[in-house]
Structure 1
Amino acid sequence: MAAKTSQDEYEQVKQDLQQLRDDVAKLTRAVTESQKSNISHLRDEIRRESQEALDQVRQKGDAALNRARDAGDRAVNEVEHRIEERPFLSVVLMFLAGVLVGKLLDR
């Protein structure tokens, strides 16, 4: 009878160990799936945030380019206006600037 009890206990321990292995495997699969889901969610969030940051940078760059373009247009218009006001003086100044650059380049 004692041998039978030992055998039964041994079988019970084997079954408990098998059940424990199965439970650990299920837990591992559940944790893996959960982590995959978290990683996928984080990847989507990072992708969305990086796209938003890129859009903001693009908008700021476009705004800066437009401001620079407007400033350049205003400068050109101002120079044209001054040349129209005093054409002779503008020609003389351009001639003197050319002479000065020519002298500097001769060295």
Structure 2
Amino acid sequence: MEAKSTQDDYDQVKRDLQALREDMAKLTNSFSESQKSNISSLRDEIRRESREAFDQVRKKGDAALHRAKDAGDKAVEDVEHRIEERPFLSIIIMFLAGILVGKMLDR
């Protein structure tokens, strides 16, 4: 009777170990799936934040470019206006600037 009891205990331990292996496999798979989901959501969040940051930088860059273009257009208009006001003086100044640049390049 004792041998049968020992055999039954041995079989029970084998079943318990098999059940433990299966539970560990399920737990490992569950943890793995959970981590994959976390990584996926983190990747999506990083992409979203990257796009938002890129859009903000692009908007700021576009605004700066627009301001620079406006300032350049205003400067050209100012120069044109001054040339229209005093065309003879403008021609003399440009002639002298040309002579000065020519002298500098001769050296």
| TM-score tier after normalising by the smaller chain length | over 0.9
For normalisation by structure 1, the TM-score amounts to 0.98
Q: Which residue of 1 aligns with 2:56?
A: 56
Map Cα deviations across residues 30-79 of structure 1 (whole Å, 9 max, x no partner): 00111111111111111111111111111000000000000000000000
Q: Which residue of 2 aligns with 1:106?
A: 106
Q: Which runs of 5+ in 1 are unaligned?
A: none
Return the alpha-carbon distance in structure 1 between the equivalents of residues 55 and 101 of structure 2: 45
Q: Percent same amino acid among aligned pairs? A: 75
Q: Which residue of 2 aligns with 1:13?
A: 13
Q: Which residue of 2 aligns with 1:93?
A: 93
For normalisation by structure 2, the TM-score amounts to 0.98
Q: Which runs of 5+ in 2 are unaligned?
A: none
Q: Which residue of 1 aligns with 2:2?
A: 2
Q: Quick one: which amino acid aligns to residue 75 of structure 1?
A: A
Q: Which residue of 2 aligns with 1:82?
A: 82
Q: Quick one: which amino acid aligns to residue 36 of structure 1?
A: K
The alignment yields a C-alpha RMSD, in angstroms, of: 0.5
Q: Quick one: which amino acid aligns to residue 18 of structure 1?
A: Q
